[in-house]
Amino acid sequence: MARKISFNKDYILLKTKEFIKEYGIEVMNVRDLCKYIGCSTQPIFRNFENMSNFKKELKIYLHDYYDDFIYQIVDKEDYLFTISYAYALFSLKESNIFKALFMSDLAGSRTIEEVLNSSWNIDTIKSIPKQYKVTKKQAEILYRDVRFFTHGLSCQIACHSIIVTEREIENLIKNIIEKIK
């Protein structure tokens, strides 16, 4: 008797990440995803109940993947540069995952204040005054401006509307930090 394949949450999320890496989130629909995974829609709805829950768990799964990438590069002694560089590098190395996380409905939306007050950004902002000899308010402005510059650069990289090397990314981010501070 043939072994039955178990389509559990982890397997479905892994295969969904692979699908997005290959084809992009913008073309993902349940029918094509299930065909790619090799299952009916039943395992998705059995494991996640509905598409809203599936998307929430997918976002967490992809963010964990992103975090693993970022934290291999981040150096807290040079937090602003290394986290910005890692973000842009992720857009170069993992363009479809980047677009899913930061350029699709999956990303959601936030105000500038929410971005600055996000727990994962506060540590970076707190490191800036000591390294760059600026006030807390100046650190927030520096972080904000570098963050949005880096996001714009990263979007162009992910969409392949600009072709850059890792060294060029590094230089662009270092230059903008120097100009803004």
Quote the pLDDT of residue 7.
87
Percent pLDDT > 90 in the chain is 88
Is there a single domain that holds both residue 82 and residue 158? yes
pLDDT of 5 > 80? The answer is no
Q: Tell me the residue range of the domain where 50 lies.
A: 9-62
Q: Is the pLDDT of residue 2 over 60?
A: no
Q: What is the CATH number of the domain that holds 14?
A: 1.10.10
- Asked if residue 105 belongs to a domain, the reply is yes
Where residue 181 falls among pLDDT bands split at 50, 70, 90? Answer: confident
How many domains, in total, are found in the chain? Answer: 2
Whether the per-residue pLDDT at 1 is higher than 70: the answer is no
Three-class HEC string of the chain: CCCCCCCCHHHHHHHHHHHHHHHCHHHCCHHHHHHHHCCCCHHHHHHHCCHHHHHHHHHHHHHHHHHHHHCCCCCHHHHHHHHHHHHHHHHHHCHHHHHHHHCCHHHCCCCHHHHHCCHHHHHHHHHHHHHHCCCHHHHHHHHHHHHHHHHHHHHHHHCCCCCCCHHHHHHHHHHHHHHHC
Residue 79 and residue 161 in one domain: yes
1 within domain boundaries = no
The pLDDT, as a whole number, for residue 4 is 59
